[in-house]
Amino acid sequence: MGNLFPCVPSFHTWPSSFHAALCVTWDVDDEAPYYSRGLTSHHDVSEIEQRQYGIRRAVPAIFSMLQEAGIPASFYVPAYIAKQWPQVVQTLTTYGYEIGAHGFLHEPVRNLGIEDEARIIKEAVDVLGSISHQSILGYRTPSWQFNEWTADLLCRNGVLYDSSLMGDHSVYQLAIETGQTLFEIPIHWNLDDVEFWGHTHVTRSHTISAPSAVYEIWTAELDGIVQRGGVCVLTLHPHVSGRPGLLSVVHRFIRYAKSLSALWITTPREIAQYVSQNALTVPTVRL
Give the pLDDT of residue 180: 87
* Calpha distance 55→86 (Å, rounded): 11
Give the pLDDT of residue 287: 84
Sequence letter at residue 209:
S
**Domain spans of the chain?**
20-286
* Calpha distance 181→179 (Å, rounded): 7
The domain 20-286 belongs to what CATH superfamily? Glycoside hydrolase/deacetylase (3.20.20.370)
**Adjacent-strand bridge partners of 263:** 20
pTM given for the model: 0.94
Give the pLDDT of residue 283: 92
Give the pLDDT of residue 1: 46
* Bridging pattern class, strands 172-175 and 181-184: antiparallel
Low-confidence ranges of the chain (pLDDT < 50): 1, 41
Give the pLDDT of residue 40: 52
Rounded to the nearest 10°, the torsion over CA 231, 229, 71, 277 is -70
Give the pLDDT of residue 272: 98
Q: What are phi and psi of 217, to 5 degrees?
A: -65, -45
